[in-house]
Chains A and B, each alone.
Chain A
Amino acid sequence: MAYFYSCFGLIIRSDFPIPALAKTCVSTADVLILRDKVPNNLDQPLKSRPGFEVTANEVLIRVNDSQRILIKEGKLILVDFGASQDVDGMMSAILGSALGALLQQRKNLVLHASVVTNESGSVLICGKSGQGKSTTLCELMRRGYGYASDDVSCVSMPSGGVYVNSAYPQIRLWDATLQRYEFSSDAKQLVKSEQDANKYAIQENKGFSLHRHQVLALVFLSQNPSPEPQIQRMYGKDVFCILRNNIYRKAFLRGEKLRWNINYIEQFAREVPVYQLQRPLDQNTVSQVGDIVEGLFSQSMQAINTDDVIHEEIL
């Protein structure tokens, strides 16, 4: 039995179901996901850590003692479920690290970001865990915006423009945030536990679209002691550091992959404004943060309209 899915602008054929991915009726696959034996080591790895190994064309991920995933040449993912019954942990690793590694092998800039969309394009929201990426995304969805990703964001840069390809219809939220918003489905799956808080994955089809969206801006969320949220445009090395630090699974990038990733960062920085949005510690400012991010969409619309006028005048 074969299952066909669409994500990141690719058609995926899997020999086992991956419920979080969006199904498609297209049956010409770009990527195969197969259940198979996976070795515990790679030959002559460029990098070797307890959780993974990397060669020029392969990434091996050790999910736990018996489960492993091998990602090869941007086309093939071999999944070894081993003796473990932990299907949820394996699914999480496929959706995250494995697809992230595959997209890197296919020469995309892969960022750890939530992606808010509307008809004019998308705004990428980055930040460390717990800074409010998914909460901001939910706040904007409440206001009628859509989304393209809440974890792995695949940025492509064909000649002219920077675009993000939609991922899969899943949002990851901490327990406290989950109560604040309404979702079309009650189904939730625990993905992470930290101290006294749990994080859940919600399958949310409402607002998700399988399109490519032009990137209008990138926002880096962080906290500071100021009383109000503040946004500031970043330049130069600060932009480089924000982009570099938010590359998804950057530890997988070795050798030549580092070279073209830096070239992509340069191109991204040339075409997309990057902002730092700082919000107060321990205060609920989600509504103000939502207003600021919403403002970036209208700012970009104004810029596009001005360009149109200039273009018309030249003509």
Chain B
Amino acid sequence: MNKEPKISINSTVGREKDLVGCDIDDDIIIMSIANGEYYNFNAVASKIWKFIEEPHSVSSLINELLDSYHVSREECEKSIINYLEKLRLEALIYVDPELE
């Protein structure tokens, strides 16, 4: 079975190519060119989306978010990795697992 590698803080994440986004009054909306589905991001998701415009490690993303939100590192890591899994399932991001 071809199983996707697990996302860890050492993974690198970036935006998939076949997407188009727009920013209306600070709401970010992403559309898949492949299927026409669109997604609206909340404030935290928008911050993540802007940060991974260039591929970044999950650890640097978590550090960036810890600077902005009052939350424990453990809690932040858990919820961000869960959220990134969802983005990957929707084919909005790709994950490179090997970068240390």
Chain A residues within CB distance 8 Å of chain B: 235-237, 239-240, 244, 253-256, 258-259, 262-263, 265-266, 269-270
Contact = CB atoms under 8 A, between A and B. Distances in A.
Interface stretch (B4-12, B20-28, B64-72, B88-96): B20-28
Given A239-B24, A262-B20, 7 more contacts: A239-B25, A240-B27, A258-B33, A262-B22, A262-B29, A263-B20, A269-B22
Contact of B20 (A239, A240, A258, A270): A258
Interface in B10-43: 20-27, 29, 31, 33, 36, 38, 40
B43 to A, nearest CB: 11
A239 B33 CA distance: 20
Contacts of A263: 20, 22
Contacts of B33: 255-256, 258-259
A237 B31 contact: no
Contacts of A259: 20, 33
B20 A236 contact: no
B42 to A, nearest CB: 10
Nearest to B23: A266
Contacts of B31: 258, 262
A235 B24 contact: yes
Given A258-B31, A262-B31, A240 B36 contact: no
A237 B27 contact: yes
B20 A237 contact: no
Given A262-B21, A263-B20, A263-B22, A237 B29 contact: yes
Contacts of B38: 240, 244
Contacts of A255: 33
A237 B21 CA distance: 12
Interface residues of B, number: 14
Interface of B: 20-27, 29, 31, 33, 36, 38, 40
B56 to A, nearest CB: 24
Contacts of A236: 24-27
B97 to A, nearest CB: 29
Contacts of B27: 235-237, 240
A258 B35 CA distance: 10
A-B pairs with lowest CB-CB distance, top 10:
A236-B27, A266-B22, A236-B25, A235-B25, A259-B20, A237-B27, A237-B40, A269-B24, A262-B20, A240-B29
A91 B33 CA distance: 32
Contact of A258 (B23, B26, B36, B40): B36
Nearest to A260: B20
A266 B24 CA distance: 6
Given A258-B31, A262-B31, A237 B36 contact: no
Contacts of A256: 33
10 contacts: A236-B27, A239-B24, A240-B29, A240-B38, A256-B33, A262-B31, A265-B22, A266-B24, A269-B25, A270-B24
A79 B26 CA distance: 45
A196 B31 CA distance: 39
A244 B40 CA distance: 13
A266 B31 CA distance: 12
Contacts of A237: 24, 27, 29, 40
B40 to A, nearest CB: 4
Contacts of A258: 20, 31, 33, 36
Contacts of B21: 262
